[in-house]
Chains A and B, each alone.
Chain A
């Protein structure tokens, strides 16, 4: 099996630094380097560097691409400016979520899509199948041409600015720049102010052949600021503390965007794939909602645990873990609507032990400032 696993351009660095490597949707990825809670707190406190090169990257360009994206995704593509980024989804006609994605607008009718690794092939097929018959534009999977690195944490700009030309301007939230990195003469990097941790941070698309150089330069630049490499384990606990949904856990083809609390990414003023189903859902009532809860006693909730209100089963946990920042068990669950009120108490069945929990506002983790 191992021989068929894909390796990112930074694989050698991970192995050399003693990372615990695990298979993850066909890739051999670092789970952790020194320990998940440690790495987690390091990102909240200082800065961390993540290799997320396994995530799928597609380039879409040619006349009519913007119109196509407007139809195939529910967000307001027309409001995107050049060098802007937008969180969005691919929806089925019945409203089920094929994937959650990030869209980057490089120019008129030129876009980059970043998708979940586990859905990459499915997404590519879905997009290919729905290209207009008369389209002349190109859809290309460019995943293996680059590395995708996330630099996250309160010190991330201090780190990043050291490898940018002197006097480089801060990148505004959900915007990106395409910068040439000097030692890589000619090799352009895309640097976006986006992330999946809730901290200030950046995601860098780096040409494959200079990926190691850039990684090492960032690690060196951040050495005195406390930068550390961070694995997928901490990436998961960081995103959970922010209540960011994880595809496959909290959202999938059977869950609806409105139930998942993703309404703010949907533009009902325009037409898009799945719109009718979403309107119908709105009209009928959502039935259930994805809520956040904190345990009121010891224990760690996990995906699949049932949720009760008194004796009545009212929902199911979709993500759960121990929060390194809050130092308690936290989770997200789909819960029947009358039981979704903030402050309401629920019971989580943790393998036969019933633990009380309270519904809280998202995110779990709020910065002290």
Chain B
């Protein structure tokens, strides 16, 4: 199930926006493809990113995959629980497995992201 209340980036990040604050994680599709996530280094608070910048890298038993910023802004919060329990991303990608929160400098960028329906269509194409 792809949650309806989120926006999605083509690199499989999701965004839960509330005012200027955007919570970011990776989709179920992404975690499923990555396999068991074993490590990720948290970015520093205050890091300024623009859309498409690499925020960090997610390490699974299989491979390494970058986490890209789906929106631009300043990283104002990180999910510290993941430092000990990165597997939360596998277990609950859309809630407990959130990764960072970004204070957006241009909340309009959200409009560039996909809705749940767009993302579902996008995934169907990806699978072909």
**A2 interface residue per 8 A CB criterion:** no
A236 cross-chain contacts in B, Cβ below 8 A: 61
**B116 interface residue per 8 A CB criterion:** no
CB within 8 A of B90: which of A35, A302, A329? A35
Dominant secondary structure at the A interface: mixed
A300 cross-chain contacts in B, Cβ below 8 A: 38-39, 59, 64
Q: Is the CB of B64 within 8 A of A322?
A: no
**B35 interface residue per 8 A CB criterion:** yes
Closest A residue to B41 by beta carbon equals A298
**A148 interface residue per 8 A CB criterion:** no
Q: Which of A200-238 touch B at CB < 8 Å? A: 233, 236-237
Q: Is the CB of A37 within 8 A of B61?
A: yes
A299 cross-chain contacts in B, Cβ below 8 A: 39, 41, 59
Q: Is the CB of A37 within 8 A of B36?
A: yes
Closest B residue to A234 by beta carbon equals B61
**A351 interface residue per 8 A CB criterion:** yes
**A31 interface residue per 8 A CB criterion:** yes
**A86 interface residue per 8 A CB criterion:** no
**A154 interface residue per 8 A CB criterion:** no
Q: Is the CB of A35 within 8 A of B36?
A: yes
A26 cross-chain contacts in B, Cβ below 8 A: none
**A324 interface residue per 8 A CB criterion:** yes
Q: A36-B61, A37-B61, A233-B61 are contacts. A322–B38 as well, Cβ < 8 Å? A: yes
A35 cross-chain contacts in B, Cβ below 8 A: 36, 87, 90
The interface size of chain A toward B, counting residues with CB under 8 Å, comes to 19
Query: C-beta contact mask, B47-79 vs A, less than 8 Å → 1, else 0?
Result: 000000000010101111000000000000000
A237 cross-chain contacts in B, Cβ below 8 A: 61
Q: Chain B's nearest CB lies how many Å from the CB of A42?
A: 13
Kindly state the separation between the CA atoms of A178 and B59 in the bound complex, as whole angstroms: 43
Q: Chain A's nearest CB lies how many Å from the CB of B127?
A: 15
**A197 interface residue per 8 A CB criterion:** no
Query: C-beta contact mask, A14-38 vs B, less than 8 Å → 1, else 0?
Result: 0000001000000000011001111
Q: Which 9 A-B pairs have the closest CB atoms?
A: A322-B38, A36-B61, A300-B59, A36-B36, A298-B41, A35-B36, A322-B39, A233-B61, A300-B39
Identify 12 new A-B residue pairs, CB closer than 8 A, beyond the known A233-B36, A300-B38, A321-B61.
A20-B35, A32-B36, A36-B36, A36-B61, A37-B36, A233-B35, A237-B61, A299-B39, A300-B39, A302-B63, A324-B38, A351-B57
Interface residues of B (CB under 8 A from A): 35-36, 38-39, 41, 57, 59, 61-64, 87, 90
Interface residues of A (CB under 8 A from B): 20, 31-32, 35-38, 233, 236-237, 298-300, 302, 321-322, 324, 329, 351
